[in-house]
Amino acid sequence: MYEFELEELEAATENFSPSNLISKGSHGRVYRGVLNNGKHVAIKKQSSGLLDSSKIEHEARMLSSIHHNSCLVDFLGIGHDASDNKLIVMEHMPNGTLHDLLRAPVTPPPTWRKRLDIALQVANGVRFLHESNKPPIVHRDIKSANILLDSNWDAKLADFGLSVTLAGDNSATLPAGTIGYLDPDYNTPSKLSTKIDVFSYGVVLLELISCREVLDVRKSPASIVEWAVPLIKQGRFLEVCDERTRLRPHQRRKVECLLSLAARCVFPVERLRPSMGEIVATLEDPKTEPFRFPLTMINFFRRAILNTRKINSTTVKKIVANSESKK
């Protein structure tokens, strides 16, 4: 693992100037910088005043164990600040997050071709974590805000602070993730599996196609899954699609396949969700047809959604407020 000198990282970021701040969260802040060799980087620094450095320490260890993949943000090395807290140095992704791209007020929304490309790039990244690492890695926080876009607008998966390996005893690994993307069945350590990521990926697909917020208390139902899945089951695909972007006839079947795939990913029964390998194969196959759900699966979905709707809007607002307060 390459270690950068603090002086170089301070010079690259103008001493971590607020003008170079890209993003901030509960555990760290990310700054853009330019190294001595002219390379543009992003540097994650522990938030000032935060005593617990375990998340950044964990993320650094996790990143150092993952081999390079074109669909994951490149990890370049570490550094240490004046208090000896770790700094994580990564490649800079100049075009921001998928979340921001989908909702940018000025930039035109992505074309359907670009959305399909992003869906495949993210799927390849998650598949790599699940299938090319021994033991498999579960990301646990797949969401549009953790999907970054490079200078070519290609998507890469980032933020491995919650990632864990499926190795040995995970009984102490408490459930974690982001409300709205989190598999509702992941409520105990024993439920940890790669299918958690499949559920979150399915939510991202629904968001990618519709541009609707994943959890929006102003709408009923508030959950994107509860809203979109019944429409998909009824074959009302166009009602889920982002109206700002024209869907041409030759693209319609592919988008319908993507929505069918999303519905399978968020299916309540974990074992019936596809693997990431199957998802990639489906996206790469030009002859793939939209999945036709058997009546038994449709009825199961209906019962699951009715059970989920027992959470009223007040409860959802509390969940969102608690989630925001922890950022």
Kindly state the average pLDDT of the residues 23-35.
88
Instruction: Please tell me what DSSP assigns to residue 216.
Output: -
Strands across the sheet containing 75-80: 21-24, 28-34, 40-46, 86-91, 75-80
Residue 319's pLDDT band (cuts 50, 70, 90): very low
pLDDT of residue 297: 58
Instruction: Identify which of 199, 94, 60, 68 has the alpha carbon closest to the alpha carbon of residue 142.
Output: 199
All structural domains of the chain with their residue ranges = 6-91, 98-325
The class that CATH gives domain 6-91 is alpha beta
pLDDT of residue 234: 93
Does the pTM exceed 0.85? yes
Question: What is the secondary structure of 7-21 as a DSSP string?
Answer: HHHHHHTTTT-GGGE
- pLDDT at residue 304 tops 80: no
235: left (phi over 0), alpha (psi -120 to 50) or beta: left
Residue 172's pLDDT band (cuts 50, 70, 90): confident
Query: 110-123 pLDDT, tens per residue?
Result: 999 999 999 999 99
Q: Which two tokens stand for residue 311?
A: 């959470």
Residue 303's pLDDT band (cuts 50, 70, 90): low
Q: Mean pLDDT of all residues in the chain?
A: 88
Kindly state the average pLDDT of the residues 45-57.
75
Residue 326's pLDDT band (cuts 50, 70, 90): very low
pLDDT, greater one: 51 or 312: 51
Residues identified as active-site:
141
The class that CATH gives domain 98-325 is mainly alpha
Q: Which residues pair with 46 in a beta bridge?
A: 28
- pLDDT at residue 169 tops 80: no
Q: Which residues pair with 33 in a beta bridge?
A: 41
Query: 233-281 pLDDT, tens per residue?
Result: 999 999 999 999 989 888 899 999 999 999 999 999 999 999 999 999 9
pLDDT of residue 83: 86
Kindly state the average pLDDT of the residues 28-54.
86
